[in-house]
Structure 1
C-alpha cells in the first residue's frame, strides 16, 4: 500500500473486482489527516488513488432509473395506421358530401322566388339536416377513436347506412318539392335537371364510404380488443358488463341525433304555420331531452339505481311520444299536416323508436350489473389522477431489484 503523507494515516477497504480473481484487494481511498497536522487546517492534499464510485443510493440498491413520463398532448391524435384510415375516410366523405349539398342548396336558393309555401322549406331543411348528420358523425368518429370504443365504431357504420338510406329518400322528396314550386311558378323546373345528378352521386359516395368504414372497422376491432383486454383484464363476466356499458353510452349519442332530426323537421315543416301548444312543447322538449341523455350517462357511471329507474321511465314516455307522432302522421284527420316531410319523418320516427327500445333494454342490464366491480373500470380518470399523486419513492418501491448487491 501507498505510504500516507506525514501527519495522517490511510484508510483501506476491500471490494471485489469483476475479474477472474475474486480475492480482495486493498487499495487506498483517501487521506484522513490527524488533528495535529498543520495540513489538516488547510484541508489536506488530494490522494490520486481515490476512486469515487459511480451512481448513488438507487444504483447501489439495484433500482433502475425511471424516466419521466412523456408529455401527452391534450388533444387526441390518431396514432396508428387504421385509426388514421378511419378518420380520413369519414373526413373525405363529409367534405365531398357537404360540398355537393352546398351546391344544390345555393342553386335552389338563387332560382327560387320568395314565397311562404311549405315546399320551399323542404329542400333547405333536408339539406341542412343531412349536412348536420355528417358533421355529427365526424364528431362521434373522433370520440370513438379517442375512447377506443369498438361498439361506437360499429354503430357509426350502421349510422352511415342510415345516412345512405336518407340520401336516397331525399331525392324523391326534393323532386316533389321542386315540382310543387314549379307548378306555382315559384321556381324554374330546370333546377331539378341541374340538381338530380348530384343528388344521385351523394348516395353513391356514401355507399363507398360505408364499405371502406366497415373494412377499417374490422381492422380496428382487433386493434381495440387488446386495449380492452389490458383495461378490463381477462375476466369474461367483467368484459360483458363493460360491453353492455359501451353499447348503452353509444346508444345515447345516436338517440340524440335522431330525436333532434325528427324534432327539427316537425318544427320547421309542420308546426311553423301554427304556433300552438304542441309547438311550444316540442321546442321545450329539446333541452329537456339533452338533460335526460346527459343524466342517463352520469347515473350509469355513478351506478345510481334510483336515477336510472327515472331515466328508464322517461325513455318509455319518449317512446310513447314518437308512437303518437307516427300515428298522427297517418291519421286521416291530421295526415295533411305532415305531407311535406312525411317520408323522412317516418324514417326518423321508426329508427328513434327502435333505438329507444334497445336503449331501455341495455339500461336495465346496466342496472342489473351495478355493484359488481365495473365502476372502477369506467371511472378511469379518477384512477389516473390518483396515480399521478404517487411519489417517486412509492413508485420505485414497487420495483424489484434486478440483482442483489452486497457491499
Structure 2
C-alpha cells in the first residue's frame, strides 16, 4: 500500500486523478444525455449500443489508469510510468475516433424508420462541444504527465541503483523485466476493450463463437497473471507455454482484423469497425513487444536477477527493516567525539 511520499509522486498521482475526474464528468454527462434522447419503445439494434459501449469503455480505461498509476508509484517502476504517458496517447486517439463514431451513430439512429432519436432532438449539438473538448483535455494532461514522468525518472534512478547495484548487465536484465511486466498490464486493457466491443456491438455471432469469446476473458486474465508468476520464478516451461499462447493470440487478432474488411463479412463490424481496428492494431503491436521481451526475460533466467524481482517492490527489504511509514534514506553517521564512523557506501565492482 505504501507509495513514496515525495512531491513528484503526488504530482503524478494528482495530475492523473484530476484528468480522470474531468473526463469522466464529461463522459457521464454524454452517456446520460444519449440515454434520455434514445427512444426505449423500440428494439435494441447494434447502433443503439455503440455510444453506451464507447463511453463505458472510456470510463473503465481512465479508472484502470488510476490503478496503474498507484501500482507504478508503489513499485517505483519508471518504465510503467513512461508507459502510462503512452497509454494516455492511446486514450487521446480513442477520444478522437469517438467523435466521428458518435456522430455516425446519432445520424444513423435519426435516419432509421421509425427513428430511434427524433429528428428535432438537440443531442448532437449538445454533446459536440464536449466531444471536441475531451481530446484537447487529454492532450494537455498528456504533456503534464510527461513532464512529471521525466522528473520521476530522475527521482527513482537512485533507488533503482541501490536496488540493483552498479552492475550494468543486471540493470539491463531488470529493465527488461520491468518492461515485460508493464506490457502485461497494458495487454489486459486493450484485449478486454476489443473483446467487450466485439461481444456487445457486433451482430451475427454463432453460439460457439460467442461462448469461446466470453470464455477467453477469464482465461486471458489467468494467463497474464501466470506469465508474471513464471517470469518471477524463472520457470522456463511456463514461459515457453505462455509464448505459444501469445502467438495464438496474435494470430486471432490478425484474423479478426482481416475479417472486418473482408467482402461478405464486413457488415456486422461496420458500427464499430474504426474502434475495433484501433484496438486490434494496438493489441497486435503490444503482443509483438510482449513476445520479444518474454524471450529476452527467458534468456536472462539463472543469472542472478531472481533475488531482485522476487521482492514486492524496489527497496522492499529496507522498508521492512525500518517499519511502515518510514523512509529508506541513508542513515547519517554518528559524529559524536570519540566515535569512529563506519562507512556504509556500496562497493562498486
- TM-score of the two chains, using structure 2 as the length reference: 0.88
For the residue of structure 1 that corresponds to 2:2, the secondary structure is coil
What's 2:196 paired with?
Answer: 264
* 1:171 paired to 2:99: yes
- Residue by residue over 1:379-401, the C-alpha shift from the partner in whole angstroms, topping out at 9 and shown as x without a partner, is 1249849x76xxxxxxxxxx999
TM-align CA RMSD: 2.0
- CA shift, 1:94, in A, is 0.2
- Residue by residue over 1:93-122, the C-alpha shift from the partner in whole angstroms, topping out at 9 and shown as x without a partner, is 000000000000101101110231211100
Query: Any unmatched runs of 5+ in structure 1?
Result: 1-74, 389-398
Distance 1:337 1:78 in 2: 49
Distance 1:124 1:380 in 2: 41
Q: Which has the higher strand share?
A: 1
* 1:102 paired to 2:28: yes
Paired positions, count: 319
Over 3 Å counting, the alpha-carbon distance change for 1:90 and 1:403 in structure 2 is closer
- Residue by residue over 1:312-361, the C-alpha shift from the partner in whole angstroms, topping out at 9 and shown as x without a partner, is 00000000000110011001121001000000000000000000000000
Moved over 3 A (4+): 381-385, 399-404
1:8-407 matches, within 5 Å, as 75-114=1-40, 115=42, 116-184=44-112, 185-188=115-118, 189-271=121-203, 274-381=205-312, 384=317, 402=339
C-alpha contact 2:77 2:178 (8 A) present in aligned 1: yes
Distance 2:297 2:45 in 1: 48
What's 1:18 paired with?
Answer: none
- Residue by residue over 1:190-210, the C-alpha shift from the partner in whole angstroms, topping out at 9 and shown as x without a partner, is 100110000011111000010
Which structure is richer in relative contact order (CA contacts within 8 A, separation 6 or more)?
2
C-alpha contact 2:75 2:312 (8 A) present in aligned 1: no
- CA shift, 1:274, in A, is 4.1
For the residue of structure 2 that corresponds to 1:380, the secondary structure is coil
Max Rg structure: 1
- TM-score of the two chains, using structure 1 as the length reference: 0.76
- CA shift, 1:76, in A, is 2.2
C-alpha contact 2:27 2:59 (8 A) present in aligned 1: yes
What's 1:40 paired with?
Answer: none
Q: Which has the higher helix share?
A: 2
For the residue of structure 1 that corresponds to 2:124, the secondary structure is helix
